[in-house]
Amino acid sequence: MPAVSKGDGMRGLAVFISDIRNCKSKEAEIKRINKELANIRSKFKGDKALDGYSKKKYVCKLLFIFLLGHDIDFGHMEAVNLLSSNKYTEKQIGYLFISVLVNSNSELIRLINNAIKNDLSSRNPTFMCLALHCIANVGSREMAEAFAGEIPRILVAGDTMDSVKQSAALCLLRLYKTSPDLVLMGEWTSRVVHLLNDQHMGVVTAAISLITCLSQKNPDEFKTCVSLAVSRLSRIVSSASTDLQDYTYYFVPAPWLSCKLLRLLQCYPPPEDGAVKGRLVECLETILNKAQEPPKSKKVQHSNAKNAILFEAISLIIHYDSEPNLLVRACNQLGQFLQHRETNLRYLALESMCTLASSEFSHEAVKTHIETVINALKTERDVSVRQRAADLLYAMCDRSNAKQIVAEMLSYLETADYSIREEMVLKVAILAEKYAVDYSWYVDTILNLIRIAGDYVSEEVWYRVIQIVINRDDVQGYAAKTVFEALQAPACHENMVKVGGYILGEFGNLIAGDPRSSPLVQFNLLHSKFHLCSVPTRALLLSAYIKFINLFPETKSTIQEVLRSDSQIRNSDVELQQRAVEYLKLSSIASTDVLATVLEEMPPFPERESSILAKLKKKKGPGAVSVNELEEGKREGGELNGGGERGGDSSRSGALSLLSLLSPSQHPPSSQCLMLHSRAPRMVALRRSHCSSVDLHGFTCLFE
Amino acid sequence: MQFMLLFSRQGKLRLQKWYVPLSDKEKKKITRELVQTVLARKPKMCSFLEWRDLKIVYKRYASLYFCCAIEDQDNELITLEIIHRYVELLDKYFGSVCELDIIFNFEKAYFILDEFLLGGEAQETSKKNVLKAIEQADLLQEVSTEVYYHHCKATAIGVHHRVFGLSL
């Protein structure tokens, strides 16, 4: 049961809360609330000045109503009045109200800041803390302007009480986060660093959060904190469980402080000073050793605290990336956790190993766990754990295990959560491309992706497969054959039709010899999907059809018949109609030479940074590609450009890439289409389309 | 830490502490979505999940879910223990705390939280010191009548909310 006399009871408030809880419906609740609001409003407006207790009670009621989810548009003035009460509870409620219902009225702000100022200079530590808490909770720019100068002084003044220092440190942190330009470095900065040596552990705990944040923005200014942090950490790690008294948590000495110290150290490279570095390495080894010792307590709090320090230490080891011994030990420790009974630890181990996987020292060690990770992917019941396993597979993928990993990821994709499919698709596409030795495997993989998760295959992915097929002579026939087979499936995804339409349009001739994939068969196959597709796909198919006319003159009449039909030349969509009309005309008036020139096979694309990598990076998950990988992708991408660029194309502008990340909606629809005018135009066929639109028909005509 | 939410199994919000500036509308949206996501989790699942670009750490104590949103580089396990420490503080203060205590003394729950965490960071990790600070503040209050809410608690409608069952 609760202890008695927790200060004043505020009976009225308790009754009100009870009433609300007793309301049997939402309407009843709203009615009761409105009744109370009316009551409070009248009391606030009333002639009789309210005493402090009543004011506090009503302000508290308003706060309660607000926290229930209803809007409150009055009471701020009364709350501000409470701030100047000399009764602590009244002040407290006043501060709570204004911290929760932040108001941007400038008059109120002025009054609030005044009250805060008074409390800050009151020399009463409890009042000072109240004021500091309020500033930390609100953290507005106006408060920063008013107090950003004062708080550092309070923080480092010799006569400030410990509890006030703690609040001041975190208050300053909040102000720095929201208005960094108003917190100026000064004399206080070196003294703040020395708070790391304070004998009061609470002060150190609070100060270190501030120092960590400041170090990230001003590393040089605060670099003396590194050796102090190492000493502190060393003392904690080597202390017996009774040394730190109340800062020991379930037999773990100062876990919060230890984690914060390890976090601070991650803001800096490994210490240059040999002694400091030695001490730190010793610390890390001790932490790793302790993980192997039998636990001092069966309670989960003990193991969580201990492991929290362990994981942070591993983060630091990974961040340094310079001690092979420690890295391998970290990897082994994580490997143990991968099979732990506790789901939390398996989750964290998978997450942590992702970062380890990118270090050259530990990459091989991470790979040894591949079977465990694959097993996790298949058998973990918790989807968040499965997702971490998928991320880790992606991170540990290299030439030696790519086929295995891609196969596992594809099979996982078949049953994966919809929310993660797009990211998985991007990752599989990247891996398939990056580690493809045999490009028919790559083509198969992408087509599988479309088959399994067609909706989530973004344009970057299927543009890329087409680009690669165009650039590599050796896989063109295979691609045509595979895509032809894939299209036979009764319900194939629209993206498959797009890819199929394009590839058959370019390379259908490579399989036309076989009677099962003769030109007419190919055409009929494509056309059977025509009416099921969206406009952009149909536009693409129309382009494929005109290419067929060029490739297979025997199909000319059949295709012209289709183009001539009302549903094409009178199609309500302008693009489709225009294409149908123009292609029809082109096919009838152009001589075979002209047609062959205009519809010449696409030349290889120049190599560009893979947009897929960039798109994945934008998704920003853990396991997302680091900038280094992007660079690597750029370099490796050079391998793909099989044929060298066929020359003479003045239109190839570096700026606009077909595979640029700009969404198609940012470009005008392919307006650079054939434009037939009644007078005979002098056509200058360009080899590359200037717009990143869905359609890859790839040529533009300019009329001079 | 970006924010901390306490909510019941029916999705009723009992405490909301925001450590980043957000509009009321955004807060409501986040609360709605996150509460739904967490309540959909099954009991044996792990205590962490990814949500938008944040990491969510949550734990259920009796009828209340304690849910914290931390940033990518923050430590999940230590956040779990922050939650536990907060529950310990409430438990010590109220004596075997249960959900009703937090409902009827919501302002106290905020005050205690502010002594422990400030600006989203741990301010004081000694249980003794935090409780001492709160007791000192309580002493400053006017001594008054017995807490009326005892009575309200006894007559309140609804399921008996079990205590959090901390054996400390």
Q: Where are the domains of chain A?
A: 474-607
Residue A339: CB atoms within 10 A of its CB come to 13
pLDDT in tens, A121-164: 988 899 999 999 999 999 999 999 999 999 999 999 988 999 99
Residue B37 near chain A (CB below 8 Å): no
Among A236-240, B82-86, B146-150, the range of highest mean pLDDT:
B82-86
- Tokens for A466, please give them: 């087409």
Q: Do A263 and B138 touch (CB under 8 A)?
A: no
Split at pLDDT 50, 70, 90, the class of A618 is confident
Residue of B10, B115, B149, B162 to mutate for A, most A C-beta atoms under 10 A: B149
Give tens-digit pLDDT for A205-264. 999 999 999 999 999 989 999 999 999 999 999 988 778 889 999 999 999 999 999 999
The token pair that represents A44 in the structure block = 């606030």
pLDDT for res A187: 87
Q: Is the pLDDT of residue A431 over 90?
A: yes
Cβ burial A410-447 (10 Å sphere, 16+ → b, else e):
bebbeebeeebbbbbbbbbbbbbbbbbeebbbbbbbbb
Q: How close is the nearest chain B Cα to the Cα of A77, in Å?
A: 19
Domains: count for chain B:
1
Query: When comparing pLDDT for A366 and A566, which is higher?
Result: A366
CATH label of the domain that carries residue B18: 3.30.450.60
Average pLDDT rounded to a whole number, residues A44-52: 84
Q: Is the pTM of this model over 0.90?
A: no
Kindly determine whether residue B45 and residue A381, on different chains, have CB atoms separated by under 8 Å: yes
State the Cα–Cα distance between residues A544 and A378, nearest whole angstrom: 41
pLDDT at A702 over 80: no
Q: pLDDT by residue (tens digit) across A518-574?
A: 999 999 999 999 999 999 999 999 999 999 998 898 989 889 999 888 888 888 899
Q: Which pLDDT value is given to residue A571? A: 87
Question: If 0-12 CB within 10 Å is exposed, 13-18 middle and 19+ buried, where does residue A479 land?
Answer: buried
Rounded to an integer, the average pLDDT of B120-146 is 79
Q: How far apart are CA A400 and CA A141, in angstroms?
A: 55
Confidence of residue B162 (pLDDT cuts 50, 70, 90): low
Nearest-Cα distance to chain A for B166, in Å, is 12
Band of residue A470 on the pLDDT scale cut at 50, 70, 90? very high
Give the mean model confidence (pLDDT) for residues A582-604. 88
Q: Is the ipTM of this complex over 0.90?
A: no
**Mean pLDDT for all residues in chain A:** 84
Beta-carbon contacts of residue A409 (< 8 Å; ≥ 6 apart): A390, A393, A394, A424, A427, A428, A431
Residue A360: Cβ-neighbour burial (10 angstroms; 0-12, 13-18, 19+): exposed
Domain annotation covers residue B163: no
A79 contact B CB<8A: no
Per-residue confidence (pLDDT) for residue A360, from 0 to 100? 83
Q: Which of A73, A397, A57, A209 shows the shortest CA–CA distance to B74?
A: A209
Asked if B62 reaches chain A (Cβ–Cβ under 8 Å), the answer is no
Per-residue pLDDT, A617:
76
What values do phi and psi take at A500, rounded to 5?
Answer: -60, -45
Cα nearest neighbour of A213 on chain B: B121
Mean pLDDT of chain B, nearest integer? 86
Q: Which of B119, B126, B158 is closest, CB to CB, to A136?
A: B119
Residue A310 has pLDDT above 90, yes or no: yes
Q: Residue A167 is nearest to which of B108, B118, B149, comparing CB atoms? A: B118
Say yes or no for a CB contact (<8 Å) between B46 and A347: yes
* B162 found inside a domain: no
Helix or strand run (H / E) with residue B61: strand B54-61
A21 inside 8 A of chain B by CB? yes
- pLDDT at residue B10 tops 80: yes
Q: Quote the CA–CA distance of A268 and A261 in Å, as a whole number.
A: 12
Kindly list the residues from chain B whose CB atom is less than 8 angstroms away from the CB atom of residue A259.
75, 78
pLDDT for A418: 83
Q: Is the pLDDT of residue B136 over 60?
A: yes
Please give the pLDDT value at position A687.
30
- Higher per-residue confidence, A106 vs A442: A442
Among the listed residues A374, A369, A380, the one whose alpha carbon sits nearest the alpha carbon of residue A343 = A380
Average pLDDT over residues A167-179: 95
CB contact under 8 A, A620 and B137: no
Cβ A675 vs Cβ A703: under 8 Å: yes
CB contact under 8 A, B124 and A163: yes
A416 within 8 A of A424, measured Cβ to Cβ? yes
Provide the number of CB pairs (under 8 Å) joining chain A to chain B: 215
% of chain B residues with pLDDT over 90: 74
**Confidence (pLDDT) at A229:** 96
Question: Where is B65: in which H helix or E strand?
Answer: strand B64-70
Does B124 sit within 8 Å of A166, measured CB to CB? yes
The reported pLDDT for the residue numbered A645 is 33
pLDDT for position A626: 42
Q: How far is A450 from chain B (nearest CA, A)?
A: 26
Give CA A202 to chain center in angstroms. Answer: 34
Mean pLDDT, residues B86-114 taken together: 94
Which tops the pLDDT comparison, A422 or A410?
A410
Residue A419 banded pLDDT, cuts 50, 70, 90: confident
Choose among B146, B121, B13: nearest CA to B71.
Answer: B121
In the structure encoding, which two tokens stand for residue A226, read together? 């590194």
Q: Which residues of A touch B119 (CB under 8 A)?
A: 136-137, 139, 170-171, 173-174, 177, 209
A434 neighbors A636 (Cβ within 8 angstroms):
yes
Tell me the chain B residues in contact with residue A212 when contact means C-beta distances shorter than 8 Å.
Answer: none
Mean pLDDT for A39-51 is: 87
Triad A230, A231, A237: Cα angle to 5°: 85
Task: Look up the domain containing B16 and give its range.
Answer: 3-157
Cα–Cα dist A362/A641, whole Å: 32
Rounded average pLDDT over A393-401: 93
Q: What is the mean pLDDT of residues A619-629?
A: 46
C-alpha separations of B35 from A369, A378, B45, B162 in Å: 35, 28, 16, 21
Q: What is the pLDDT of residue A686?
A: 30
- Of A98, A94, A143, the closest CA to residue A117 belongs to A143
Instruction: Name the nearest CA neighbour of A129 among B20, B116, B121, B87.
Output: B116
Preferred mutation among B29, B114, B135 to probe A, highest tally of A CBs within 10 A:
B114
What residue type is A347 in one-letter code?
A: Y
- Give the model's pLDDT for residue A105: 84
